[in-house]
């Protein structure tokens, strides 16, 4: 067999790289315990090709960031792109004026979130934050295209997600709109999953849910899982894992945090759990009050915190919804 033409990747070799890299990603997710709550998700990650959803992405930060893309004329660069597409790491996919607008989340975190959503084969699912479309494809693989709706505010993101989904052989409903308002024309939903950080729980979502529906969303630096008990009621606790996502844009706005004063204990400043408490109570507790509570209560883990929605009131709490430690969340 003669040499390959200049600047041409041997497609068979690249396909082999993809197969090996995808198998490595699946092993990494399994080792992390990503789908311990629902091992059936393994099949979706084995069969949905992530590289079709990240035809280009950036690695590195600031002036040192580098773009990798599948159309690079250099075979070695294409191989790096393919291997990177299956790394158990988040990938920045859309930058605008230096701001990160969209990314493909870390696969092990995606797997954990999907597993914790406890999706049944007939469930109708709403995803807030279309991103690359990869998460919607995983959902569609599990429950079918017709039961999945994904919403994003940015038309460039939704257009790109549709193209990626078509390339992967999936056609869930992709809607351009404000995720904080849900998608009433496609309701009701049995599961709602957000892949962007929220400042609070949008009440519009609850009215679009079936009784007993689950909502899973990043809030502060954690993941809250709520059970919906009515059109204006939901309650649940945070999962143990941390979660960092691009913030929700549109009608819902983030709260501004409180600047750190000097003199906080070093242990608190370097504790992820203390940073979670600060984010959860931003604008309500000042950092000195927060560190006093954190120390007094034995540096509580995320699972001791929760969120309740009752009518027009939404609040976070420690240990009990009606206990002594409760903090209002903003109206969305």
Residue that is written with structure tokens 């549709």 in the block: 162
DSSP for 261-316?
A: PTT--HHHHT-HHHHHHHHHTTTTS-HHHHHHHHHHTTS--GGGEEEEEETTEEEE
The encoded tokens of residue 11 equal 């497609």
The encoded tokens of residue 35 equal 């789908």
What is the separation of C-alpha 98 from the centre of its chain, rounded to a whole number of angstroms?
A: 21
The encoded tokens of residue 125 equal 């699912």
Give the dihedral sign, CA 177/257/296/271: positive
Catalytic residue among 32, 56, 77, 102: 102
Cβ atoms < 10 Å from Cβ of 305: 24
Whole-number Å distance between alpha carbons of 151 and 27? 30
The encoded tokens of residue 95 equal 């930058």
Give the dihedral sign, CA 324/289/273/246: positive
**Residue 143: strand, helix, or coil:** helix
Question: Which DSSP helix (H) or strand (E) runs through 197?
Answer: none
CB 283 within 8 A of CB 292: no
The encoded tokens of residue 42 equal 């393994």
Residues in the chain: 332
**Residue 111: strand, helix, or coil:** helix
Catalytic residue at 102?
Answer: yes
DSSP for 3-59?
A: PPPTT---HHHHHHHHHHHHHHHHHHHHHHTTTTT-TTHHHHHHHS-GGGG-SEEEE
Please identify every residue annotated as catalytic: 102
């Amino acid at each position: 067999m003669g040499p390959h033409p200049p600047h041409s990747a041997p497609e068979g070799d690249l396909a082999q790289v993809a197969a090996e890299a995808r198998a490595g990603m699946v092993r990494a997710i399994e080792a992390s315990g990503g789908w311990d709550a629902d091992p059936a998700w393994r099949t979706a990650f084995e069969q949905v090709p992530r590289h079709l959803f990240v035809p280009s992405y950036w690695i590195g930060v600031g002036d040192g960031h580098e773009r990798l893309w599948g159309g690079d004329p250099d075979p070695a660069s294409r191989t790096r792109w393919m291997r990177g597409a299956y790394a158990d790491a988040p990938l920045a996919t859309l930058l605008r004026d230096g701001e990160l607008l969209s990314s493909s989340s870390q696969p092990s975190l995606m797997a954990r979130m999907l597993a914790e959503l406890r999706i049944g084969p007939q469930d109708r699912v709403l995803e807030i934050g279309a991103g690359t479309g990869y998460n919607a494809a995983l959902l569609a693989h599990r429950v079918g295209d017709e039961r999945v709706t994904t919403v994003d505010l940015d038309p460039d993101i939704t257009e790109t997600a549709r193209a990626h989904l078509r390339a992967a052989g999936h056609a869930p409903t992709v809607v351009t709109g404000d995720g904080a308002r849900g998608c009433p024309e496609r309701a009701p939903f049995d599961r709602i999953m957000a892949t962007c950080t929220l400042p609070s729980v949008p009440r519009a979502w609850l009215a679009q849910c079936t009784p007993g529906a689950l909502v899973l969303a990043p809030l502060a630096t954690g993941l809250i899982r709520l059970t919906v008990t009515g059109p204006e009621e939901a309650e649940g606790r945070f999962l143990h894992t941390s979660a960092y996502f691009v913030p929700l844009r549109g009608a819902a706005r983030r709260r501004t945090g409180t600047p750190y004063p000097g003199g906080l204990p070093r242990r608190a400043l370097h504790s992820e759990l203390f940073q979670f408490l600060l984010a959860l109570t931003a604008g309500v507790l000042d950092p000195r009050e927060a560190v006093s509570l954190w120390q007094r209560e034995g540096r509580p883990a995320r699972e001791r915190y929760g969120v309740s929605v009752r009518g027009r009131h939404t609040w976070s709490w420690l240990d009990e919804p009606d206990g002594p430690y409760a903090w209002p969340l903003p109206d969305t």
